[in-house]
Structure 1
Amino acid sequence: MNVMIIGGTSGIGLGLAQHYWRQGARVAICGRHPRKLDGSPLLLEERISVHACDIADRTAVAHTVALVAADGLDLLIVTAGQYTDAAAIALDRSSTLPVLRVNVGGLDHAFSAAAEAMMARGQGQLVAVASIAGLQQDYPGGSLYSASKRAAIAICDAYRKALAPFGIDVTVIVPGYVDTARLRELNNGDASRKPFLMSEQEAVRRIADAIARRDERCVFPWQMHALVRIFNRLPVFLKRVRKK
C-alpha cells in the first residue's frame, strides 16, 4: 500500500504516517518544512520518503504527487491547514490569503493531482482532515477559518460525486479539538481548557478507522458535534457574541 500525507511532518499528519508505516505501507511524508523531521528515527526506514512541498503551490503539488505516484498511489491524506483569527486579521489584512491558499486552493491542488493518478488505475482514496468549525452555518461576523473549512468539506463532497464512477472514494474527517502542539501554541502553551479535548493518539486511531471503513464523513467527538448543532439553531444576535 502506497500512502501520501501532505502536512505529515507534525501533529495528526505525522501520527498517521507512523500508523501506516507500522501497518507495512510505504509512506511519503510531505510538508513545507521537512527539516521538522531531522533526527526522527522514521528517516532511517526504507519505506519512508520525505518531500518538501507547499500545498499552496499547484505546480509543486503536481510534481510531488507524480513523483510519489510513479509506483501507484492508494491513499492520499491532506492534513495541511492554515489558521488565523480576527485579531490577526485586524493587524494584517493579508493574513487572510494563506488561509484560502492552503485550506481551499491547496486541498483542490492535492485532490486534483492525486485523482488523476488514481483514475489511471481505477482505484484509490482521497482523505481530507477538515474541522468541526466547518459544520457551523455562516452568520454575520463568522470566522474566515470556519468558512474555509466549510469549503473544504464541500470540496470533498464534490470530488466524491465526481470520482465515484472511477472507483475512487473520498473521506472527509471533521474533528473537534485535538491536543496537538499547534493547538497548544495557539493557546499559550496549554489547550486543556478546550471542550472535549482529545489526545492526538485517539484522534489518529479514529481517523485511521474511518479511512479503513471508507466512510464518506467522520465527525468526532459527538459532544462537539451536538454543540455545533445547538449553536446553529441560535439567533444571530447570540452567535455574534462568540469569541473568534
Structure 2
Amino acid sequence: MKVMVIGGASGIGRALALHYLAQGAQLAVCSRRLAGPGHDWLTLHPQVRSYGFDIADRVALTAAIRHFGIGGLDVLIVTAGQYADAAALAAQPDAGIGIVQANVLGLAQAFDTAATLMREQGHGQLVAVASIAGLLEEYPGGSLYSTSKRAAIGICDAYRKALRPFGIAVTTIVPGYVDTARLRELNGGDAGSKPFLQSEAAAVRRMVGAIGRRDAHCIFPWQLELLARLFNLLPASLKRLRRK
C-alpha cells in the first residue's frame, strides 16, 4: 500500500505516518519542516520518501504527489494546516491569507491532483483532517479558523460526491482537542485544560479505523460534536459572547 501524508512530520500527521509505516506501507511524508530534532526516523526507513514544501505552494505540492504517485497511490492524507487566533490576526492580518491558502486552497489542490491519479488507476482514498471548529455555523465574530475548517469539510463533501462513481472514497476526520505537541505549544506547554482532551494514541486509533472502513465521516469526541450542534441553535446575540 502506498500512503502519502501531507503534514506528516509532526502532530497527528506524524502519528498517522508512523502507524502506516509500522503496517509496512510505502510512505511519503510531506512537510514544511523536515529537519531538526525528532525527524531522524524519516531517514531510517528505506520505504519512506520525504518531500519538503508548504501545502500552499501549488507547484511543489502537485509535483510531489505526481512523483510519489508514479505506479499508484492508495491513500492521500492531508493533515497540514495553519491556525491563528483573533489576537494574532489583529497583529498580523496577512496571517489570515495564509490560513485560507493552507486550510482551503492547499487542501483542494492536493485532492484534485491525487484524484486525477486515482481515477486513472481506478481506486484510491482521499482523507482530510479538519476540526470540530468546522462544525460551527457562521456567526457574528466567528473565527477565520472555524470558517476555513468548515470550508475544508465542504471540499471533502464535494469531492466525495464527484468521485463516488469512480470508486474513490473520501473520508473527513473531524477531531476535537488532541494532546499533541503543537496543542501544548499553543497552550503554554500544557493542554490539560482543554475539554474532552483525547490522547494522541486514542485519536489515531479512531482515525485509522475510519480510514480502513472508508467511512465518509469520523467525528469525535461525541461530547464536543453535541456542544457544537447546540451552539449553532443559539441566537446571534448569545453567540457573540463566545470567547475565541
Q: Does 1:229 align with 2:224?
A: no
Question: For each residue in 1:171-204, what CA deviation from the matched residue of structure 2 results, as whole angstroms up to 9, or x when unmatched?
Answer: 0000000011111111111110000000111111
- Are residues 1:45 and 2:9 paired? no
User: Which residue in 2 is equivalent to 1:196?
Assistant: 196
- Residue identity matched to 2:83: Y
Distance 1:152 1:208 in 2: 19
Q: Give the secondary-structure state (helix, strand or coil) at the position aligned to 1:61.
A: helix
- Report deviation, 1:136: 0.5
Q: Which sections of structure 1, spanning at least 5 residues, go unmatched?
A: none
Mapped partners of 1:36, 1:6: distance in 2: 18
Superposition TM-score, scaled by structure 2 size: 0.97
Report if the CA contact (8 A) 2:42-2:50 is conserved.
Answer: no
2-side partners of 1:41 and 1:158: how far apart? 36
1:65-214 to 2 correspondences below 5 Å: 65-214=65-214
SS in 1 for 2:171: strand
Contact 1:80 1:103 survives alignment (8 Å) = yes
Q: What's the counterpart of residue 12 of structure 1?
A: 12
Q: Residue 28 of structure 1 aligns with which residue?
A: 28
Distance (Å, rounded) in 2 between the aligned partners of 1:41 and 1:128: 24
Distance 1:39 1:118 in 2: 29
How many residues align? The count is 244
Question: Is the CA contact 1:10–1:36 (under 8 Å) kept in the aligned structure 2?
Answer: no
Contact 1:77–1:127 (8 Å) recurs in 2: yes
Distance 2:162 2:103 in 1: 20
Cα distance in 2 for residues equivalent to 1:156 and 1:234: 27
Contact 1:9 1:37 in 2 (8 A): no
How well do the aligned residues superpose, as a CA RMSD in angstroms?
1.1
CA deviation after TM superposition for structure 1 residue 39, in Å: 5.2
Which one-letter code corresponds to 1:48 in the other structure?
A: V
